[in-house]
Amino acid sequence: MVGGKPRVNGRLDMTRSIGDLDLKPYGVIAEPSTKVIKVRHSRDAFLVLTTDGVNVSLTDQEIVDIINGRTDPEEAAKQVTDQALQFGSEDNATAVVMPFGAWGKYSRAVSTIQYDFGRNIIGPRYS
């Protein structure tokens, strides 16, 4: 346990990991979970890939709101990682945003979104 959360061998917050064969005796499986999803470019705006350093600090909805508030996918990814670090992530925070055909379709006009817990999503880096 680290910070009240279970960890594999006191280090990893995961059940699957490619390349961590030394942790196999502790329950880490090297077979990834996969799912095939059909992308509908007229409806789907983006795919975001994040590390646990982002997901322990931000909810899925917060990540979506941050991305929808940006016009550039690279800036959106940077904003997601900045926000995770601002909210106290102590792990590496990485995000990749892949835009699809509906990119920008669900953009929000606001630059700050108020959430429970008194947390504010930071506005754009360059306004």
Query: How do residues 4-26 score in pLDDT, each as one tens digit?
Result: 666 666 666 655 556 667 777 77
Q: What does pLDDT average to over the chain? A: 77
Residue of higher predicted confidence among 10 and 111: 10
Give the span between the Cα atoms of 120 and 109, in whole angstroms.
Answer: 16
- Looking at the whole model, is its pTM more than 0.85? no
Encoding tokens for residue 70?
A: 């940006």
pLDDT at 9: 63
Give the span between the Cα atoms of 87 and 110, in whole angstroms.
Answer: 20
Residue 97 has pLDDT above 60, yes or no: yes
pLDDT at 44: 92
The structural domains of the chain, ordered by start, are: 1-34 (no CATH), 37-118 (3.60.40.10)
Q: Are 8 and 23 in contact (CB under 8 A)?
A: yes
DSSP-derived secondary structure letter, 2: B
**Under 8 Å CB-to-CB from 39, ≥6 apart: which residues?**
47, 100
